[in-house]
Amino acid sequence: MQSALFIGSNIYRGSRYGARHPLSIERVPAATDLARQLGWLPPALYRTSPRARPQALSAFHDADYIAALMQAEAEGMVSDRARERYGLGTLSNPVFPEMFRRPATAVGGGLLAAELLMSGAVRAVHNPGGGTHHALRGRASGFCFLNEPVLTILHLLRLGAGRVVYVDIDAHHGDGVEFAFPGSDRVRVISVHEDRRWPFTGALNDDAGGAAFNLPVPRDFNDSEFERVLEDLIVPATEGFRPDAVFLQCGADALSEDPLSRLALSNNSHFRAVRRLMQIAPRLVVSGGGGYNPWSVARCWAGVWATLSGQEIPDRLPDPAARMLAALDWHRKGRPDAALLSTLRDAPRPGSVRSEIREGIAQLRQRL
C-alpha cells in the first residue's frame, strides 16, 4: 500500500473571491508549488482532483441550492431572492467566476480521497482545497459554498467505513459538519476552536446529541496547550470510537500570523496533529480549511504534506523555494518577517497550560 497521495487542481490557481476578500490570496497553489520546489511532490504522488457532479453533491445539499449556485456562476450575478434564500452574492460568499466549479472540485478531491482510502490503495490523502466546513445543506456560509467534509464523510460511510472521526483544528468551529450529524453513532465530531469567535457555536456543553466534543479555547492558545489537548482529548476520543477512517480538517488560521483569529499556534502543532493521528488512524484524510496569511498557509500545508509523506523538513529553505514565497502577494500592507520567507517550520510557541484548558478537557473526558 502506498503511504500518502496529494490531491490538487489548477482550478485554484488565480481563483480569488475578490480583491479585498480574505480569500484574495493564493493558498493551494502556493502550498503545491512549495512542495514541488522542495522535491516532495513527484508525479507519482499527485492526483488531479475531479469535479463532483450535482448528483454527488445532492448526497448532502438540497437540489435547489445546487441549481442556484450553478446558475449564479453561469450568470455572474444573483437575484435578491437568491441572495436572501441561499446566502449567495454576500460579502462573505461573493459571486466570482469559479464559485461553483472551485468548491465542486474540492468536493471531488474529497470523494476521490475516500475512494483511494477505502479501496486500500493508500493510507493517507492530503486534499488542501477541502475543509469547507461552514456550508449548510441549503445555504452558503462563512466563505464555504459546499461542505466538502460532510460529503467526504458520507462517501466514506457509503464505501464501507463503519465509523468516522472528524477532527477540526481550524480557528473557527466547524458548525456545518456538526449540524450534519446530530446524534450520530457512526460519526464523532471533535472541534478545537477559538472561544467567542464567529460562528459563535460549539460551546463546551454542546454535544450534538452525543456526537460532538467541542473545546472552545481562549486567545493566545499556544503549542503547549495544543499538545495537552491533542494527547488528553483528541487522541483518546478518537481511539475510543474505534474509527475505520479519520478526517482531519487542518485549517491554518489558528497560527499566530493569521488576521482572522487571535490564537498563537506555530505550525508545529499542525504537524504534531498529523503525525499523531497517522499513528492511530487506519485511514486518514487531511484537508485544508481556514488560513488567510498567504505565507503561513503555504508553509503549513506544505509541511503537513511533508509529515504525511515522510519528508524531512529543512532548517532553511533553498533559494528557489524562498523566492517562490517572496513572490506571493497580499492586499494587506507590509511584508512578512524574514522567517516566513526563509524557513518552513516555525519556531515553537510554548507557554503555560491555563486552567480553562485543563478544566475543559476534564469535563469532556468524563464522556469518554
pLDDT at 355: 98
Q: Is residue 113 part of a domain?
A: yes
pLDDT, tens only, 8-39? 999 999 999 999 999 999 999 999 999 999 99
Tell me the torsion sign for CA atoms 93, 148, 331, 349: positive
For this structure, is 134 an active site residue?
yes
CATH code assigned at 101: 3.40.800.20
Q: Is residue 185 part of a domain?
A: yes
Domain count, the chain: 1
Structural domain of 358 = 2-50+97-365
pLDDT, tens only, 66-107? 999 999 999 999 999 999 999 999 999 999 999 999 999 999
Nearest Cα to Cα of residue 35 among 2, 3, 8: 8
Helices (H) and strands (E) in the chain, counts: 14, 8
Q: Is residue 91 part of a domain?
A: no
Q: Flag residues of the chain having pLDDT under 70.
A: 1
Q: Is residue 352 part of a domain?
A: yes
Q: Is residue 228 part of a domain?
A: yes
Q: Is residue 201 part of a domain?
A: yes
- Find the catalytic residue in 134, 155, 172, 193: 134
Q: Is residue 262 part of a domain?
A: yes
The whole-model pTM stands at 0.98
Q: Is residue 77 part of a domain?
A: no
DSSP assignment string, 12-72 = GTT--S-TTSTT-S--HHHHHHHHHHTT---GGGEEEPPPPPHHHHTTTS-HHHHHHHHHH
